[in-house]
Structure 1
C-alpha cells in the first residue's frame, strides 16, 4: 500500500493533468464527503473552505437525487456569473471539485474527468 505522501502526489498529478488538458480549469481539489481536504491545486481560493463547501453541495445533490428517484448522483454543476463549480462523486467517500472560468470547456471537462474520477477512486480506495 502506498504511503500518504505518495498518494497525495498521485492525486496532485491527476489534478494538474485536468488543469493542463481542459481549457478554463482554474482550481481543483479532492476531499472526503465530510469536507476534509485530501489535496488541492488552487490559486485564488482557500482549499479547506472549498473542500467543505463542495462536500455540502455533493450532500445536497445526493439527497435530491435520492428523493426524486433518479439514481446515484454523478456530479453537481453550478453555473455562476463568472464561471462554473463542478463537484464529482468519487465512490461513496470522496469528491473532486473543479472550478472553471467563463471559458471552461465543460464538455471536455466531463470527458476528461470521468476517467480521472475512476483513477482517483482507485488511488484513494473510494
Structure 2
C-alpha cells in the first residue's frame, strides 16, 4: 500500500469539503493505516470507526437493506462519518457542526473508490 497516495486522498477530501476536520483510514479490524488528524488520537479513532462499521454492517444485514455504504453519527459538536472502503478497509471523517454532509457524500464517492484501489490492489 502506498501510504503517501492514501494520505494525498485524505488531505484532498479535507481541502475540498468545508467542515471536514480530520480523516483516517483503517482496516476493518481497527488497525490504523493512515491518518490526517490534528486532535483525535488516530489509533483510538481507527478502532472505534471499525466498531461503528461492524455494527452498521450487521444492522444492514439483519434488516435486509443490503451492503453498508456509510454510517453517520451526529453529535453536539459535529459529525462522524464512517465509509466502507472495499471489503477490508474503512475511511472515517470527522466534521464540525457546519459540515455539509450531502456534499461530503457526493465528494467521498471518488475518494472511497480511489482508496479501495490503493488498499486492495
The TM tier, using the shorter chain, reads: over 0.9
Specify the SS of the correspondent of 2:18.
coil
Residue 103 of structure 1: SS of its match in structure 2?
coil
Runs of 4+ more than 2 Å apart: none
Q: What TM-score do the two structures reach when normalised by structure 1? A: 0.94
Match of 2:24 in 1: 29
Aligned 1:19-58 pairs, distance under 5 A: 19-58=14-53
Structure 1 gap segments, 5+ residues each = none
Is 1:125 the counterpart of 2:110? The answer is: no
Matched, 1:17 2:12: yes
- Aligned partners of 1:32, 1:113: CA distance in 2, in Å? 18
Per-residue deviation, 1:32? 0.1
1:106 aligns with 2:101: yes
Secondary structure class of the residue paired with 1:35: coil
| TM-score, normalisation: structure 2 | 0.98
